[in-house]
């Protein structure tokens, strides 16, 4: 994952039920100025929040995208406790319906 224009706050969450770090999250600021990138391993959920009005993202996937395999968890799940830098707005209908983390156990 890379930010090619602007700045964003990028979060990953371990959603592997058997992992000792299940439910833990980490975040990093990605910016076109620093040109840093984030590798998101298999078994991790991913979300981001744009920190500027205009952001562009570039990401690669290890397989062809298959929407029927896409999964996730609620971005404001209290069991995860992500401290988003701004209020969470503009969720897609799909993301608004994602399950809680505890449903993965």
Per domain, the residue ranges of the chain are 2-104
**Residue range 2-104 in CATH 2.60.120.10:** yes
Q: How many residues does the chain have?
A: 105
User: What pLDDT sits at residue 75?
Assistant: 95
- 104 pLDDT band, cuts 50/70/90, is confident
| Stated pTM of the model | 0.90
Contacts of 93 (CB under 8 A, 6+ apart): none
User: What pLDDT sits at residue 18?
Assistant: 95
Strand 2-5 to 7-14 pairing = unpaired
User: What pLDDT sits at residue 26?
Assistant: 97
Q: How confident is the model over 84-102, as pLDDT tens digits?
A: 999 998 898 989 999 999 9
Strand 25-31 to 7-14 pairing = antiparallel
For residue 38, how many other CB atoms are within 10 A of its CB?
A: 18
Three-state SS sequence of the chain? CEEEECEEEEEEEECCCCCCCCCCEEEEEEECCCCCECCCCCCEEEEEEECCCCCEEECCCCCCCCHHHCCCCCCCCCCCCCCCCCCCCCCCHHHHCCCCHHHHC
Q: How confident is the model over 19-76, as pLDDT tens digits?
A: 999 999 999 999 999 999 999 999 999 999 999 989 999 999 888 988 888 889 999 9
């Amino acid at each position: 994952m890379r930010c090619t224009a602007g700045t964003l706050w990028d979060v990953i969450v371990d959603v592997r039920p058997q992992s000792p770090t299940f439910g833990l999250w980490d975040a990093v600021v990605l910016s076109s100025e620093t040109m840093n990138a984030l590798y998101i391993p298999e078994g991790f959920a991913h979300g981001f929040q744009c920190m500027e009005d205009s952001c562009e993202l570039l990401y690669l996937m290890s397989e062809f995208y298959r929407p029927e395999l896409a999964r996730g968890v609620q971005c404001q799940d209290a069991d995860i406790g992500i401290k988003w830098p701004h209020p969470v707005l503009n969720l897609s209908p799909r993301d608004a319906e994602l399950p809680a983390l505890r449903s993965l156990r």
